[in-house]
Amino acid sequence: MKVKFIELLEKLVSIPSPSGAERTASEFLAGWMAENGFRAEVDAAGNAVGTRGDGEHEIILLGHIDTFPGNPPVRREGEMLFGRGSVDAKGPLATFAAAVSQVEPPDGWRLTVVGAVEEEAATSKGARHMLKMRENRPPKFCIIGEPSRWNRVTLGYKGRLLAHVRLRAPFSHSAGQGALPAEQGVEFWQAIAAHCAAVNEGRTGAFNRLDPSLRAINSTDEGAFGTVKMTIGFRLPVDIDPHVLEADLRALAASSPAEIDLQFEGHEFAHRAEKSTPLVRAFLRAIRVAGEKPRFVVKTGTSDMNVVAPVWQCPVLAYGPGDSSLDHTPDEHIDLNEYLRAIDVLKMALENLMEAKK
């Protein structure tokens, strides 16, 4: 059984699936699930979806099958599997499929594993499709597939906003006193950073801060004018509405002497789940039985939890093996022993949860 589950992960990681190009990986995973006791398909959005059981009460295990761009070589070094997606988040997704393949849902229950597309993009196409498919009939529980280590449970993710800036300003002579367009672009970035610093006054902890990041910047000359383009990302705490932040940024732009156009995408509210739910208790018990003291974490990134949790309003958490500090890196890799332990924990948690809620 362990060999089969390791082969599942190795094969899944070996199939490139950056956002927007997940079809081959989705077809593979759906095929594997169909061969291992699921009713499985690739749905209209391109998600790999597999279900066991046919009861009214549904537990959705929502992972994602797309990866960050880049394709470092897939290889094994002892018990370490290297490759894009091994941690983020094919490791957790394979954990879902492997664990559920071993669980027989009791009467009244069904388990649905989803390998969602475009989670790494601002679109979250796969998760939004699941919202549409479950409109007016949310699941009883939802588990998000993201790396948290096998002995930890993730309860929250920060929100997100992406701003695309286009600043246009006339040139002054470089020997003069006027700020050049590129310098005005830097000044606008500094004004944004100062705004965020003011918001963060008195706040403690990374999860509670408004964090800006300058993701890209370039400038071009257009005769007497210069243009600066920037992409700026924001990670939002629970109490900041991305639409309110957008309005604040537009006000900053309006106060600049330059002509600034702002375009926004990826508006996601932060979400922090409750600790005291049957879902959380099932995981804590399973981790303790496996011999470890469970821990809670919150993440400074964003996941499909931000998309589905506010709509479904059901108990939710994120779980999966892997060290999230390796996400998106050239050295991304997962410990296969940890992966196998996570499968055991998830299987036990699901069985405990459905038994307790009969």
Reply yes or no on whether 222 is catalytic.
Answer: no
User: For residues 235 and 158, what is the distance between their CA atoms, to the nearest angstrom?
Assistant: 6
Expressed in angstroms, the distance from the first to the final Cα of the chain is: 29
Which of 22, 58, 66, 332 is catalytic? The answer is: 66
Which of 88, 119, 120, 351 is catalytic? The answer is: 119
User: For residues 160 and 164, what is the distance between their CA atoms, to the nearest angstrom?
Assistant: 13
Distances (CA, A) of 330 to 145, 154, 225, 316: 21, 24, 39, 31
Asked if residue 232 lies in contact with residue 185, where contact means CB atoms within 8 angstroms, the answer is no
How does DSSP classify residue 37? T
Binning the chain into helix, strand and coil, the percentages to the nearest 5 are 35, 30, 35
Reply yes or no on whether 22 is catalytic.
Answer: no
Asked if residue 240 lies in contact with residue 159, where contact means CB atoms within 8 angstroms, the answer is yes
How many CB atoms are closer than 10 A to CB 261? 11
The catalytic residues are 66, 119
